[in-house]
Structure 1
Amino acid sequence: MHFEVPESTAAFEQEVDALFADPETRRLRRTARSRADHMDGDVRDLYRHLGRAGVLAPSWPSRYGGRDADFTATVVLLERMVSHGIPQSLYYISVQIVGSLILQAGTEEQKRSLLPRLASGDLTACILFTEPEHGSDLASVTTRAIPASDGSGWVVEGRKTYNLKSAYADVALCAVRTDSGNSRYEGITLFLVPLDTPGVSVRPLPSLADEQFHDIRFSQVRVGKDAVFGAVGAGWSLITRMFAAERNGLDYYVRARYWLERAADRLVADGRRPTGSELAGLARHQARLDASRLLTCRALQSLHEGESDIAQASLAKWHCSETAQGIAWWAFETLGPELLEPEPGTDDPVLEAAYREAPGMTISGGASEVLLDIVAGARLLDDTRTGG
């Protein structure tokens, strides 16, 4: 089974390859990798450079900064970003998750004011859902927003933690409780909070992987009425819609693909001949990678056609993250201490970084156990409806 790739995507792929090989793109990539900020490396100048070329949101409508392209153009873009060593997490959160939700559920004013800036790289975003005591249980959110006494908006108070890229984000999509409600799923509201608002503090949290998490505190943070995203109290339905964009598995698939390519190169470096068991392992992981791509494309196609399916996306994320984790660990088991050294001819320890990142891949963005529960529940519901 193969998704048909239109000629326009092939042309886009050539354009992206030329852009990523451009000297200015390579210079900006090296600057970000130098980590002069002593954190992850500020990649925003690079994104703005790519945004000016119009490649960051190819599948969006042109009126919002996109190209009206097929969803396969997005797959190609992410594959090329990773293979060229361009950090993609901030882009993925800003455009593919937050941007996709705005595209699905935002007002026309929000779409016109936010989406072109996200597509150009002039605006970056993060997601603030997780809290210190609740982990994946997003319905237990305790960060609160109360109406301002002067009626001008809201006052937010609380804490979010283990959030990626918050130090580089201009705006945060934040889940807060605005009403206790009759159910813990009620009374949750989404806010778009500018992170330069007085009372917001962002503190980095070092992690085992290269990318840092952040701890964010809101102390009497005042936001206007226009900061509300969607209806007050209707945040949970929007969160579940966002999951279809967040959990399509694409960002895990593209990293797994690159890691397997690098491991395969190591197996034949300097005339080395892989053993039978090494070749079998390579083939096994390649087969899982092919399945990951198909699951990802199916989820993206549904999203592109406006038919997002949380169970379908959850299955894709589960399979892609488990596959990526398995490839990283297999590479270490196969290559041994050699994996800890930079790639031959480079200073880039790709597989060593993959090994450190692997443990968190089946936790972040939806833990595997939670995703399988969603998939199983949806399947049982399907059987009930069909009498199966």
Structure 2
Amino acid sequence: MPTVNEALQAAAIGHAIDLLHLSNAEVRKIIALLNSADAELRAQLILAIASLGVESFTVTHMNSVLVSVLETNKSIYAAIQETMVESVIDLAKYEIGYQKALFTEVIPQQVRVTVSLGSVTLDQTRQIAMSRPFQGKLLKEWLDNLEVNRAARIRDGVRMGMVEGQTTEQIVRRVMGIKSEGYADGLLNRSRQDIESVVRTAISHTAQGARDAFYRANDDLIAEVSWLSTLDNKTSVDCRLRDRLRYTNDTHEPVGHKVPWKAGPGRIHWCCRSTSTPILKGYEELRLSKGLPESTRASMDGQVPKSTTYGEWLIEQSAARQDQILGPNRGKLLREGGLTHDQFYNDRGKFLTLDQLRERDAASFAKAGI
């Protein structure tokens, strides 16, 4: 039977994967919202460019005819900001509730009678979501910057097209890109990439902030915090270095090493997927030994759990859980095809398609019967 700290570590790894799925869904929602204005933006852009004459073109004139285009751009970012604010506040509330439910589930009832769980207020959850900067700025500031940068790309694309004597169609394509290329050839595609980074980082930042707050509220129960990194081809140097390192719960001072916590897991760099797990004090340190059953004392040993990598954790999960994480075909390749989770990525950390995987290792597909 696993100890409480082992159960918390296993739950942290699984929860980090669920949060990644949440992040993916949030990115799709926000990108779809951003794209929803494309038709209107394109129509307004065509009208604006048509009213610009090559001979009479000036930047001042361009700015005046682009007003409606830039207003549409501003309004869609206002909608994105409203959606993101709601999402991160909901996430902070959820994460606090999840942590409390997890602690309630894994800590023996005899211990919870003596050591009550601390809680985090609703106002604190809002502070976590809205008043703490990540990568140097608040969420609102990042989204405001993205709107301004996208407006600048629109102006730059139109100005360059006019100077080069391009047609209206060519300028619109330059700015917007074309559907057959997935709009990847347009100047505005960078805006999609930028907002994806902000959304993913806001999600991980908020979740970790909520965890930190809950851990601090239970400082009498938690001895230390351990950094958990998702170890695969996409793991950053910073996160590989810190994986399984321990820090004090209150001030995050290094324990047994000199590697600084910096911004912490989920926040140390853009799109960070690292998380943390608490290491609870032992029953003796909590002064709970009197009258506790042997099984309860054993579960509350206070020991740092044995290191488990993401790949090792994944192998131990049920087939249903593996399929939920990887998809049914990759799940079957993991169980029956002889592939390990890291083989689902290329050397740049990009998730390979099934066709790319089949081309790389057809034998594994045959072995798995796919």
Query: Does the TM-score normalized on the shorter chain lie above 0.5?
Result: no
**TM bracket, shorter-chain basis:** under 0.3
Structure holding more strand per residue: 1
Q: Which structure ranks higher in relative contact order (CA pairs < 8 Å, sequence separation ≥ 6)?
A: 2
| TM superposition score normalised by structure 1 | 0.23
